Chain A
């Protein structure tokens, strides 16, 4: 095969090989809907789509604003404080362990929100008038994904509260003799 033919063929083959990555899969749960239910989805299609669009943008705003706060608490407060304490003779195992848990919960929140957002987006791309069953399945999956995101938030809040309690305990057990450090502020 000549070079001028071979190159486009290779490029096209490469593009075709990558194409599945660009397609958002709709994970429609197998569900049987009655005719009445299908009719209800079709008749409420417009209002449901509007509600979902509103939810989609509100959840995105929440992700940006809340995510920023959670991130700031970790990177601007917890991590620097733990590092500061680690330079002294104080025991930091409790604080460090909560820091690790908080970091893991924050990572889970990021990835789970991404999964949820992609699922909700793909649900919004389903034509609810023409494919009500697939639409229902997609919404159901997005609902499950949103509950997982909520569980991550509950975990993050629990870790934030645990850190608060650990700080209180640290303060109550404060021993001035362990405060020695070579650094100065």
Chain B
């Protein structure tokens, strides 16, 4: 009896073991390796055992490194601008298309196409479109009699250029999620509002958006985390230039490891980025938890009131 009982109690752990082992090997080990590496002065020509231990020097260097600070600032600017634009356009599109249109499913597939294209291809595609003489943007501008824009050779325009490419690629992600959220909203609330004579605008701002908020917050967080890690499109489009105007941290990490051959410092940068993303993720979970607690409290209050 007691043996069977014990076996019973062990069963879930046995089932979990393979996943736990894989997770440890595939996730924890590399992370620990990276954390350890960030304390080393390690060039790729050395084995990790031969590298010198330098304590926190890599992190101290990062703080003093103006180029790293600049790329950090570029990353934050990029993530903020990109995610704001994508949220506004994505949710706006979803609000516009939340109705019974014929061929909606085809339309939706077309809308999410950009998301499905490999980032390198997106980068190359936009790079040709931004080409100063043969690119479609400048050709169109010139045929209208305007001056061509130095899309990738001016530091302000090149930031605009990478933002445009990212918005084009990732707005559909927000669009599709908010459309799904919108279509699962309780119809009763909307009907009640209609009976009360609410206008379309009022319905959007006082009913639809507040009810969608939990989904929107999660979407925002997911995009924000992603925007911090974007690499390929920018690498292909501008490779960080001109100057450092589009050099986001992920690209800086890549170049530190690849060009400067400083694996330790690259690891320290990765850890810094990881910590920022961790803070964002924890923030997201906390918000979710808060929302759940509030819902539970409100439910309890409602049922109390009913009694």
- Bound pair (A, B): no
Q: Which residues of A approach B to under 8 Å, CB–CB?
A: none
